[in-house]
């Protein structure tokens, strides 16, 4: 019924999926945040890297994943609020 063949040799996401540009609405959904929250992050410099061409703001999934990994903690006692 289902094709059990992996998408590629190491079953990793396709490169074009991670490197493709997405708009801020999809980026907010990807990060489980509101669009307004990632807009505030852009202004304060807190959020993930982004690309801007004219009025258009775009993100790469690879950058979103990398940004999220830098905020990963093992426990609340290992977290240092800056």
DSSP secondary structure of 5-35: S-SSTT-PPPHHHHHSEEEHHHHHHHTT--H
Position with higher pLDDT, 9 vs 51? 51
Residue 13 has what pLDDT? Answer: 59
Within a domain: 36: yes
Within a domain: 2: no
Within a domain: 8: no
Within a domain: 11: no
Within a domain: 51: yes
Is pLDDT above 70 for 58? yes
- Count of domains in the chain? 1
pLDDT band at 78 (very low <50, low <70, confident <90, very high): confident
Q: What is the pTM of this model?
A: 0.72
Is pLDDT above 70 for 10? no
**CATH code for the domain in which residue 40 is found:** 1.10.10.10
Is pLDDT above 60 for 17? yes
Position with higher pLDDT, 9 vs 49? 49
Distance CA 47, CA 1 (A): 42
Within a domain: 10: no
């Amino acid at each position: 019924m289902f094709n059990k063949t992996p998408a590629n040799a190491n079953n990793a996401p396709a490169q074009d999926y991670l490197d493709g540009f997405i708009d801020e609405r999809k980026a907010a959904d990807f990060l489980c945040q509101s669009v307004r929250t990632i807009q505030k992050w852009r202004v304060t410099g807190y959020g993930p890297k982004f690309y801007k061409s004219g009025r258009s703001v775009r993100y790469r999934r690879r950058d979103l994943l990398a940004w999220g990994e830098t905020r990963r903690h093992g426990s609340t006692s290992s977290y240092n609020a800056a």
